[in-house]
Amino acid sequence: MTFNPDESDIFRHAMEDVTPLKDCSTIMWQKSPSAKPPRDRQWEEQLDNPLTTGLLEVVPGTQPLEFIADGIQPGVLDKLRQGKYPPQLNLNLIKQSAENSRQMLYLFMRQALRDDIRNLLIIHGKARHDTSHANIIRSYLMRWLQQFDEVQAFCSAQPHHGGSGACYVALRKSERARLENREQNARRAR
């Protein structure tokens, strides 16, 4: 048999023993046993991580970490500085690389927001020199935390929570938490 390598001939030759299906609507698709398992959800979240790295303005170790978002009352930062909002969730970044810290912070913040947690403690370590690893991570935190719209304020922690080697973070209330507060206040007013 001479075979002409024309594409249609090749296709017809490959399909000569195939029987067409009569009703395709009842076919159930199944994953092959050799198919790759679905990706880990955390891995997918890490791929979406918008926190930036690159050129970094190092915050001097003597300068306390401090930020308050526009429209937030100064009293929130004052109470945060005094440790009056007890941390509900902690993250330890000591001895983590900048990239690991970036990924860990992103996943940590996603978890806090998902679970309606508002008060966080992030431990970054104390720096002896401005160029030390702990101060680099601390400087990145100064940048990264401001990239979250949900961050109301952050500042260095009280000594019993790590002092200059840690920071408190206050997050905005979620819409769900605001709605619950309104409902509670409405019940009290009755």
56-105 pLDDT per residue, tens: 888 888 888 999 999 999 999 999 999 999 999 999 999 999 999 999 99
For the whole prediction, is pTM greater than 0.75?
no
Residues 52 and 147: beta-carbon distance below 8 Å: yes
Q: Per the structure block, which two tokens stand in for 175?
A: 């819409």
- The H helix count followed by the E strand count for the chain is 6, 5
**H helix runs in the chain, sequence order:** 7-15, 41-47, 74-81, 98-114, 133-146, 175-189
Q: Where are the domains of the chain?
A: 56-179
> Would you state the pLDDT for residue 1?
46
Q: Which residue has the higher pLDDT, 81 or 180?
A: 81
Q: Per the structure block, which two tokens stand in for 158?
A: 């009280």
> Would you state the pLDDT for residue 9?
73
Q: Per the structure block, which two tokens stand in for 88?
A: 């509900």
CA 46 to chain centroid? 7
Q: Which residue has the higher pLDDT, 184 or 158?
A: 158
Report the CATH fold assignment for 56-179: Ribosomal Protein S8; Chain: A, domain 1 (3.30.1370)
Give the model confidence (pLDDT) of 30-67 as tens digits.
Answer: 333 444 444 555 545 555 788 877 778 888 888 889 99
Give the model confidence (pLDDT) of 127-152 as tens digits.
Answer: 888 888 888 999 999 999 999 999 99
Q: Of 51, 74, 78, which is closest to residue 137 (Cα–Cα)?
A: 51
